[in-house]
């Protein structure tokens, strides 16, 4: 029996490709950003559908963020440096790296500080010792030139520099940024959080607490996740501030985990209210997680940490350590955690003996050198990853 050739019904195809409702269902399911842009350029009808905010949000929610590069920040007076990390397996990332404005070459000052980087935006400001008429600014490197930087108004009547400046962690949050001021004396801790909305600063909340244990020193390592601010302390716990209730609480570190030096601990935000914690001790890296919706928030609760990974740094990074440097001769701070990726997908580690910064993908254990510290720079270094969900803004109609 001979099967007859299938005759394509052109009218049926036309009905699908010219139906705005169906296009709104099809376009978000395109597998990669480059194909999405190409599809949008097929016709005016298609670009209207692709430019629809609902379609864009659906498409972005189905895409995995890609690491485009890192901002290397020094505690000394040196300009933040953007280091591209092209992935040979992702050729569609190259145009974004080529056309994006990631650096700060047009700002003639070394007082610039990058505070936060997320959702394809970079929040930066200037040191308080420099009399500059500029407020903080948000740079969106992948936007068109002239539209990629927004200078924000300065917060009036501030004497001390902020503890942290944070970008909102929720796309539905209409704020531009948050400023966190912290003061602690003995067992008392005070916080004031300012928010910038619609071009105007206001006080979001003020909080104080008499902690059961002295916080001694609250580290600059601070993150915002789902309306809660997490701050590392040197006394064995993470201090949290709920922005909705203006209440402090304490999360104890996992059993056996302790603060040893300024970069042996690093918190990391995750999806579904999961908080991750990286810990380095000797030649061992451990990754822990805790579901924050299980946290009672009653001031101090028993931690419910789960150990997710245990990694030997000598096995994974040993080939990058100088020859002749034996494990027994290493300094106490063998490795520092200088940057992390959301959901504990990857981590950036500095090998203290050589000043090499490496990227490690947690699932594959893939390790590669991405940066070399200048031999005369002995200041602390931090790394902020720049993640991209899609590489281009669609052209205007």
150 shares its domain with 191: yes
287 neighbors 362 (Cβ within 8 angstroms): yes
- CB proximity list for 359: less than 8 A, separation 6 or greater: 85, 346, 347, 348, 367, 368, 370
Q: Is residue 168 pLDDT above 90, yes or no?
A: yes
* pLDDT, position 393: 56
23 shares its domain with 108: no
357 neighbors 338 (Cβ within 8 angstroms): yes
* pLDDT, position 110: 61
Number of H helices, E strands in the chain: 7, 24
Of residues 216 and 237, the one with the higher pLDDT is: 237
Residue found by looking up tokens 């500059």 in the block: 132
16 shares its domain with 138: no
- Write out pLDDT tens, residues 316-330: 887 776 654 454 455
272 shares its domain with 366: yes
Q: Is residue 87 pLDDT above 50, yes or no?
A: yes
Q: Return the minimum-mean-pLDDT range out of 249-253, 265-269, 371-375.
A: 371-375
Backbone angles phi, psi at 62, to 5 degrees: -95, 0
116 shares its domain with 171: yes
Q: Which helix (H) or strand (E) holds 54?
A: helix 53-61
Q: Return the minimum-mean-pLDDT range out of 121-125, 142-146, 209-213, 329-333.
A: 329-333
Q: Is residue 16 pLDDT above 90, yes or no?
A: no
* pLDDT, position 275: 96
Of residues 59 and 208, the one with the higher pLDDT is: 208
87 shares its domain with 53: no
Mean pLDDT of 20-25: 79
Tokens in use for 58? 């659906």
Confidence of residue 314 (pLDDT cuts 50, 70, 90): confident
Q: What is the CATH number of the domain that holds 324?
A: 2.120.10.30
Of residues 397 and 239, the one with the higher pLDDT is: 239
264 shares its domain with 205: yes
Structural domain that includes position 45: 12-57
Domain-embedded: residue 397? no
- In the chain, how many domains are there? 2
Domain-embedded: residue 270? yes
Of residues 171 and 232, the one with the higher pLDDT is: 232
Domain-embedded: residue 4? no
Mean pLDDT of 159-178: 85
215 shares its domain with 246: yes
* pLDDT, position 2: 46
* pLDDT, position 7: 46
166 shares its domain with 32: no
- Write out pLDDT tens, residues 271-301: 888 999 999 998 899 999 999 875 544 444 4
Q: Is residue 148 pLDDT above 90, yes or no?
A: no
* pLDDT, position 130: 46
94 shares its domain with 163: yes
Mean pLDDT of 36-61: 80
226 neighbors 169 (Cβ within 8 angstroms): yes
Q: What is the mean pLDDT of the chain?
A: 82
Distance CA 363, CA 180 (A): 34
Distance CA 352, CA 334 (A): 6
186 shares its domain with 38: no
Q: Is residue 257 pLDDT above 90, yes or no?
A: yes
46 shares its domain with 130: no
């Amino acid at each position: 029996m001979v099967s007859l050739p299938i005759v394509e019904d052109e009218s049926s195809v036309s009905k699908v490709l010219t139906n705005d409702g169906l296009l709104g269902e099809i376009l978000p399911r395109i597998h990669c950003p480059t194909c999405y842009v190409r599809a949008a350029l097929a016709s005016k009808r298609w670009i209207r559908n692709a430019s629809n905010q609902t379609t864009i949000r659906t498409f972005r929610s189905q895409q995995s963020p890609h690491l485009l590069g890192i901002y290397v920040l020094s505690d000394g007076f040196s300009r933040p440096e953007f280091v591209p990390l092209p992935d040979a397996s992702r050729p569609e990332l190259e145009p974004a790296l080529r056309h994006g404005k990631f650096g700060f070459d047009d700002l003639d000052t070394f007082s610039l500080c990058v505070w936060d980087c997320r959702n394809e935006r970079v929040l930066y400001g200037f040191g308080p010792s420099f009399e500059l008429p500029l407020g903080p600014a948000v740079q969106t490197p992948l936007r068109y030139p002239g539209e990629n930087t927004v200078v924000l108004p300065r917060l009036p009547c501030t004497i001390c520099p902020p503890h942290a400046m944070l970008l909102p962690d929720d796309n539905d949050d209409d704020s531009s940024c948050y400023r966190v001021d912290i003061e602690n004396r003995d067992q008392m801790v005070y916080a004031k959080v300012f928010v910038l909305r619609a071009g105007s600063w206001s006080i979001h909340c003020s909080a104080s607490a008499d902690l059961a244990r002295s916080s001694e020193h609250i580290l600059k390592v601070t993150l915002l996740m789902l309306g809660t601010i997490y701050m590392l302390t040197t006394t064995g716990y993470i201090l949290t501030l709920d922005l909705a209730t203006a209440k402090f609480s304490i999360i104890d570190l996992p059993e056996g985990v302790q603060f040893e030096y300024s970069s042996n601990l690093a918190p990391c935000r995750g999806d579904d209210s999961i908080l991750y914690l990286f810990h380095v001790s000797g030649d061992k890296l451990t990754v822990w997680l805790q579901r924050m919706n299980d946290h009672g928030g009653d001031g101090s609760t028993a931690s419910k940490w789960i150990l997710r990974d245990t990694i030997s740094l000598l096995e994974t990074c040993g080939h990058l350590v100088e020859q002749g440097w034996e494990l027994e001769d290493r300094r106490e701070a063998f490795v520092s955690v200088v940057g992390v990726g959301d959901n504990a997908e990857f981590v950036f580690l500095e090998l203290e003996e050589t000043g090499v910064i490496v990227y490690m993908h947690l699932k594959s254990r893939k390790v590669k050198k991405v940066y070399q510290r200048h031999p005369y720079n002995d200041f602390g270094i931090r790394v902020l990853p720049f993640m991209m969900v899609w590489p281009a803004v669609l052209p205007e109609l």
